[in-house]
Structure 1
Amino acid sequence: MLNVKTCIIILASWCASCSQTTGQKSAVSLFNGKDLTGWHMDVPERDTVPAARKPFIVRDGNLVSLGTPVGHLITDSVFKDYVLEAEYRFAGEPGNCGILVHASTPRILYKIFPKSIEVQLMHENAGDFWCIGENIEVPDMEKRRGHKDAWGTVEGKERRILNLTDNSEKPLGEWNKVRIECREDKVRVWINEDLVNEGSNATASKGHIALQAEGSEVEFRNLMLKGL
Structure 2
Amino acid sequence: MKTPIRFATLLMVVLGSSAIQVSADEPSQLPTWKSLFNGKDLTGWVDVNTSPETWGVKDGLLVCQGEPIGVMRSEKQYENFILHIEWRHMEPGGNSGVFVWSEGTPAPGRRLPKGMEVQMLELDWINQHKRDGKPNHIGYISGELFGANGLTGVPENPRGSRSMSKELRCKPHGEWNVYDVVCVDGTVKLSINGKFVNGIRDASVKKGYLCLESEGAEIHFRNIRILELPPGITSQEQTAPNLTANGSQ
Per the normalisation by structure 1, the TM-score is 0.74
Q: Distance in 2 between matches of 1:91 and 1:104?
A: 28
8 Å contact from structure 2 (residues 104, 211) kept in 1: no
Give the corresponding residue for 1:182: 183
Q: Structure 1 pair 140/34, CA: closer, same or farther in 2 (3 Å)?
A: closer
Give the corresponding residue for 1:217: 218
Report the aligned-residue RMSD. Answer: 1.8
8 Å contact from structure 1 (residues 179, 190) kept in 2: yes
Which whole-Å deviations, capped at 9, do the CAs of 1:176-227 have from their partners, x for residues lacking one?
Answer: 1011000111000111012221111111111110100000100000001002
8 Å contact from structure 2 (residues 122, 172) kept in 1: no
Q: Distance in 2 between matches of 1:60 and 1:140?
A: 38
8 Å contact from structure 1 (residues 127, 190) kept in 2: no
Give the corresponding residue for 1:104: 103
DSSP-derived class of the 1:101 partner:
strand
8 Å contact from structure 1 (residues 100, 209) kept in 2: yes
DSSP-derived class of the 1:89 partner:
strand
Give the corresponding residue for 1:91: 90
| Larger Rg belongs to | 2
* Aligned counterparts, 1:20-169, within 5 A: 25-43=31-49, 53-104=52-103, 106-108=105-107, 110-124=109-123, 125-132=141-148, 133-141=150-158, 144-145=159-160, 160-166=162-168, 168-169=169-170
Letter matched to residue 163 of structure 1 = S
Give the corresponding residue for 2:204: 203
Gap regions ≥5 residues in structure 2: 1-29, 124-140, 230-249
Per the normalisation by structure 2, the TM-score is 0.68
Q: What displacement does 1:172 show?
A: 2.5
Q: Distance in 2 between matches of 1:170 and 1:71?
A: 24
Q: What displacement does 1:108 show?
A: 1.1
Q: Distance in 2 between matches of 1:53 and 1:75?
A: 16
Q: Distance in 2 between matches of 1:42 and 1:193?
A: 31
Q: Structure 1 pair 137/109, CA: closer, same or farther in 2 (3 Å)?
A: farther
Q: What displacement does 1:171 show?
A: 3.5
Q: Structure 1 pair 40/137, CA: closer, same or farther in 2 (3 Å)?
A: same
Q: What displacement does 1:130 show?
A: 2.8
Q: Structure 1 pair 161/114, CA: closer, same or farther in 2 (3 Å)?
A: same
Q: Distance in 1 between matches of 2:107 and 2:175?
A: 34
Q: What displacement does 1:105 show?
A: 5.4
Q: Distance in 2 between matches of 1:140 and 1:192?
A: 19
Count, aligned residues: 182
Q: What displacement does 1:131 show?
A: 1.6
Percent of aligned pairs sharing the same letter: 32
Q: Distance in 2 between matches of 1:216 and 1:195?
A: 27
Letter matched to residue 47 of structure 2 = M
Letter matched to residue 42 of structure 1 = V
